[in-house]
Chains A and B, each alone.
Chain A
């Protein structure tokens, strides 16, 4: 169906279509923790640049290095981004925010603790709606909280040492935690696609899982269908694409069901996903490492979020993908598929918004943006911000077609390419200049048809002997003769008339 375009193809096991396998007796219960690196200029608590791909240990200050005597100063953009995401997810925004220290030792955590939010996450509740093949589903959020990233440990470059790069230390993060509402790898895939789309629309995170600016851990358990109790949960990490999250969940679900069926124990542990063979392997047991001794961060005063502040953020929100999708389907009568493509990226959606503010022919607008504009961008490897034709020109082009001034094929094959090269003229001006305006004059069309009949005596005879499907051939010849300018409706009836003679 419609969303199939986004889904990976599955191999169908035909035997499983006819019998209930042991896997069908169980359901998976999945909660996801997403870490989104915020697109701020500087780090969460210090003024060193927040950037990816720099030379190691260049983006540091005494604060991010954890030197004694330094004090954190909170970036004003972090709570703005957090509140915007919370508002977009219908979360409740917390008025008095405290920061806490999460204490643990690791070489890429210079202070020996991570500054995070423990008992007062900035957002609580809310949901993200996902689209499944034939329905939608709300994935409820537990919380969204603000924290800082750690540095990076490099284990494989030096045989005797671990190397530490602190460029990432202190980068602001939002951790987005779902309720255990997800039931399959496919739902997880759709959820993450929505999260990525949302943070990109809000321009708070670039959503790049390969570079780690969006990361996801999955808590997975299985239970017999109908059971209300949760099974033993296992955490799976190290999935660097949305597709791999889906694969990891599918594999881990299968592994746990097989373990239960074989009366094996499922351990409370962290497992890592291997992208090469699609399996998970045990990293460490969870028994020991849960004592983080959280306490309130004494170096940061409480952060107050006022209702005025929330209002201000609300006013700064861009149109959101789900709202646009709904508008396109319900008000514009577009298909789910079209609405999905148009809202997939914010830039395309905003371009389309401008086209439809200049024309009421929504379906034509959608087709022009999805087909002509997008393929031009693809062929020329351009971003829509560099696209030379304005949305208003596209709307005018549609109007020319609707008024019968040019044919659709001339518009897409001649006028549109010409517009991409001479962006300052109106489509009408340019069409006149290139002599593309459709000929409505019956005498001119008749003369052209006469020439076509003269030049194709064999086909004319066959048509007159009843081979009516040759009509298309004559239309084609006529368009060739008139360089596509003969008004197709008039031509169609005129050709018929003249051939029937």
Chain B
């Protein structure tokens, strides 16, 4: 797969990032090297091999449905860069 400007722009947009000029060239090179590395795995014959999704045979342990209120509103808002007494504040999300 060839990493071109279009692909970088698309991935950047999805990640809410912006690359320009030299940065863009640099990231293009990085992404190409990552893809080449991954493509190497394609050389292995995996015919008839089930994809490995989890690294263990364990299954999910469930949590009892019991309330444990770990933190207060004050603590929840403490690390927010912008807030008022009740809410997190973020830049205006334009109504689309």
A residues near B, CB below 8 A? 40-42, 47-49, 55-62, 65, 73-77, 79, 98, 103, 105-107, 153-155, 158, 160-166, 283-284, 291, 293, 296, 300-304
Contact = CB atoms under 8 A, between A and B. Distances in A.
Contacts of A293: 14
Given A76-B62, A163-B88, A284 B96 contact: yes
A164 B62 contact: no
Interface in B29-76: 53-54, 56, 58-73, 76
B42 to A, nearest CB: 18
Contact of B91 (A59, A76, A105, A161): A161
A40 B58 contact: no
B73 A41 contact: no
A73 B60 CA distance: 9
Contact of A47 (B54, B66, B73): B66
A76 B62 CA distance: 5
Given A74-B60, A75-B63, A291-B14, A153 B71 contact: no
B69 A283 contact: no
A302 B54 CA distance: 8
Nearest to A292: B14
Contact of A296 (B53, B89, B96): B53
A74 B67 CA distance: 13
B1 to A, nearest CB: 16
Given A76-B63, A293-B14, A166 B58 contact: no
The 9 closest A-B pairs by CB, nearest first: A76-B62, A163-B87, A47-B68, A164-B88, A73-B63, A161-B89, A107-B90, A304-B59, A301-B60
Contact of B93 (A103, A155, A284, A296): A155
A49 B69 contact: yes
A153 B89 CA distance: 10
B20 interface: no
A56 B73 CA distance: 8
Contacts of A300: 60
A296 B96 CA distance: 30
A57 B16 contact: no
Given A48-B69, A48-B70, A164 B63 contact: no
A468 B86 CA distance: 79
Q: Which of B56, B61, B82 is the most central at the interface, judged by chain A CB atoms within 10 Å of its CB?
A: B61
B70 A47 contact: yes
B65 A77 contact: yes
Given A40-B65, A304-B59, A283 B96 contact: yes
A261 B16 CA distance: 41
A160 B73 contact: no
Nearest to A64: B76
Q: Which of A57, A103, A160, A303 is the most central at the interface, judged by chain B CB atoms within 10 Å of its CB?
A: A57
5 contacts: A49-B69, A61-B71, A107-B90, A300-B60, A303-B60
B16 to A, nearest CB: 5
B8 interface: no
Contacts of A107: 88, 90, 93
